[in-house]
Amino acid sequence: MVKKIALEEHFLCPGFEDYWKTTVGDVDPKILAQVAARLSDFGDLRLKSMDGAGISRAVLSLAGPGVQAEHDTATAVRNARSANDFLAGEVQKRPDRYSGFAHLPMQDARAAADELERCMTQLKFSGAMINGHTNGHYLDDPVLSPFWERAEALGAVIYIHPTDPVVPSPALDGHKGLRRATWEWTFETGSHALRLVFGGVFDRFPKARLALGHMGETLPFLLWRFDSRAKLYGIKLAKPPSEYIKQNILVTTSGMCSQEPLDCTIAALGHERIMFAADYPFEQAEEAGHWMDSVKLPDNVRTDIAFNNAVKHFRLPG
């Protein structure tokens, strides 16, 4: 069993239940209760699952949408700080097993930047996870330039996690099974990342870095087409879109335990930009861990994806 660091591992802190339940209203109540119990646990349940998967360290992030769904800016700022302090307290109990991602109030660019800096310098977090758009505002919004300036200066990786679109896609009407995690979130999150690429955010902040789960939300499979269509439509960027995806975006394996997309992502981005994630408790950590142990890879590539790349990109203990 190869040693692993897991990068998309969720928790829930007191007072955030109502935010989270907006994304799970159609889930069987019995399953929901089990998931909620695992989200709130930092002891035996979580550690047993990690041990069974060979995960030595989990980087914990608040289950979305959190304050991204909050309409009052002052409340968002206050609640984000509270969530981060709560997580820091749990990490301090088991610093050998847990690290954290900051939860940020993107309603206010400077407040979000300040909270990111506090989390990274004082709480020793490893970056931030942002749960998609914030009340319809995406991360390419020019008003967020102070945030990107600070994130770049801190060397912070910003992990974009899926969330519901502003308006449910009419293309999926009548097909409940395609909503949310099946397909809708992939399109939503990949589109969010592409807004930053095509919107020139990485021209303005060339050292800024994103992370995307689910093997890059399909972006590694479409690099040639992004470049081709950017030329066709006269998109003015310093580099082809594929170069920003290769240089500014990291990806994880969360929710994608499959050889074929892994092979494609390695070919597109290089294995050095791919990292392991289990997506606990929404996926089974043991399944993800056993897949990482058995998928066909050279030993050095497996070790890098499972562990070494996370140490490098997120400044985690080796």
Confidence (pLDDT) at 265: 98
Confidence (pLDDT) at 112: 98
User: Rounded to an integer, what is the distance from CA 87 to the centroid of its chain?
Assistant: 17
Confidence (pLDDT) at 200: 98
C-alpha torsion angle, residues 144, 187, 210, 205 (rounded to 10): -50
DSSP codes joined into one string, 220-284: GGGHHHHHHHHHHTT---SS-HHHHHHHHEEEE-TT---HHHHHHHHHHH-GGGEE----TTTS-
> What is the pTM (predicted TM-score) of this model?
0.96
CA distance 81 to 276: 28
H or E segment to which residue 8 belongs: strand 4-11
CA distance 75 to 79: 6
Confidence (pLDDT) at 18: 87
CATH 3.40.50.300 is the classification of domain 4-314 = no
pLDDT tens for the 318 residues of the chain, in order: 999 999 999 999 999 988 988 777 677 778 778 888 999 999 999 999 999 999 999 999 999 899 999 999 999 999 999 999 999 999 999 999 999 999 999 999 999 999 999 999 999 999 999 999 999 999 999 999 999 999 999 999 999 999 999 999 999 999 999 999 999 999 999 999 999 999 999 999 999 999 999 999 999 999 999 999 999 999 999 999 999 999 999 999 999 999 999 999 999 999 999 999 999 999 999 999 999 999 999 999 999 999 999 999 999 998
Q: Given strand 209-212, what is the order of strands in its sheet? A: 128-130, 157-160, 209-212, 249-252, 274-275
> What does the block give as tokens for 82?
């509270």
Q: How many residues are recorded in the chain? A: 318
Confidence (pLDDT) at 293: 98
CA-wise closest residue to 131 among 82, 70, 173: 70
By DSSP bridging, strand 209-212 and strand 157-160 are: parallel
Q: Distances in Å between the alpha carbon of 34 and those of 13, 120, 283? A: 15, 32, 12
Q: Distances in Å between the alpha carbon of 254 and those of 95, 203, 226, 278? A: 23, 28, 24, 5
Confidence (pLDDT) at 25: 65
279 catalytic residue (yes or no) = yes
Confidence (pLDDT) at 305: 98
Domain positions in the chain: 4-314
Q: Evaluate whether 159 touches 128 at the Cβ level (below 8 Å).
A: yes
User: Rounded to an integer, what is the distance from CA 57 to the centroid of its chain?
Assistant: 16
- Spot the catalytic one: 108, 114, 164, 279: 279
Q: Evaluate whether 252 touches 275 at the Cβ level (below 8 Å).
A: yes
What one-letter code names the amino acid at 106?
Answer: M
